[in-house]
A = this chain, B = another copy of it.
Amino acid sequence: MRDFQTSTPTAAPPLYQSVRGEPIDQMGVRMTFARDEELYAQEEDADLVYRVVSGAVRTTCLMSDGRRHVGAFYFAGEFFGMESGDAHRFSAEALCDTVVTVMKRTIAERDVQIERLLWTSTVQELARTHEHLLLLSRMTAVEKVATFLTDMATRQGRPELVFLPMGRQDIADYLGLTIETVSRMIGQLQAEGFIELQDTRHIRVRTRGSLLKRCA
């Protein structure tokens, strides 16, 4: 976990660094969550917006028959929890020990600068989500896993060594695969020489260019 904590702050875009000269990390109330602790639940009132300071968060959606879907992962510097309606459509949980800042939605919407920041963040998330759509609808299993790994590497700002704060089940539910297929595809990428597993959560990318070819 520790190397993850120290690596992610570099991923925060410069845009997010300050508002009115204040470090944006200090905007709102600081809160800490333990691994697997719930930040908010599905159907809960969505009157707060969140921003990751350190650690990582996943949003999940549970269907009535038990099928599970992971909507997104959020890392340091990223906003989440904005909803168009009154209630959260997903629940949010901490992947590891995580610090976030929390702000009332009504307060954020009263400040033009903060609102603009939120809008920029929302458009960025929309773009990421569209990429996710493309991945889910038209990629093969091995392409999904390769794309996921390069995306994680990029967002962590360290293309040669990826740390995965989430388990295999989370990856599977994010990519629309089963846990077995994820394992098989990681094994296949390793057998083909694209990646090397240091342990189950640390993956060394050998030839980034070649791995990108497996991304479709």
Proximity bits, A184-216, B CB within 8 Å = 1, else 0 = 000000000000000000000000000000001
**Complex interface residues of chain A between 114 and 160 (CB less than 8 A to chain B):** 115-116, 118-120, 122-127, 129-134, 136-138
Stretch binding the partner chain, chosen from A22-30, A33-41, A64-72, A163-171:
A64-72
CB < 8 Å neighbour of A138 from B69, B112, B115: B69
Contact indicator A126/B127 (Cβ below 8 Å): no
Measured between beta carbons, the chain B residues less than 8 angstroms from A69 are: 133-134, 137-138
Proximity bits, A41-62, B CB within 8 Å = 1, else 0 = 0000000000000000000010
A176 contacts the other chain (CB 8 A): yes
CB < 8 Å neighbour of A136 from B118, B122, B124, B133: B133
CB distance from A106 to the nearest CB of B (A): 13
How many copies of the polypeptide does the oligomer hold? Answer: 2
Instruction: Give the CA-CA distance A129 to B131 in the complex, in Å.
Output: 11
| A118-B119, A136-B176 as given contacts; A125 in contact with B126, CB under 8 Å | yes
Measured between beta carbons, the chain B residues less than 8 angstroms from A123 are: 82-84, 122
Instruction: Give the CA-CA distance A65 to B214 in the complex, in Å.
Output: 12
Proximity bits, A83-115, B CB within 8 Å = 1, else 0 = 111000110000000000000000000001001
Measured between beta carbons, the chain B residues less than 8 angstroms from A136 are: 133, 136-137, 176
| A69-B138, A84-B120, A89-B127 as given contacts; A216 in contact with B133, CB under 8 Å | no
The 4 closest A-B pairs by CB, nearest first: A137-B176, A136-B136, A119-B119, A84-B124
30 A-B interface contacts by CB (under 8 A): A61-B134, A63-B138, A64-B216, A65-B216, A67-B138, A67-B216, A68-B138, A69-B137, A69-B138, A71-B134, A82-B123, A84-B126, A84-B127, A90-B130, A112-B112, A115-B116, A115-B119, A119-B119, A122-B122, A122-B126, A125-B126, A126-B129, A129-B129, A132-B133, A133-B133, A136-B176, A137-B173, A137-B176, A138-B173, A138-B176
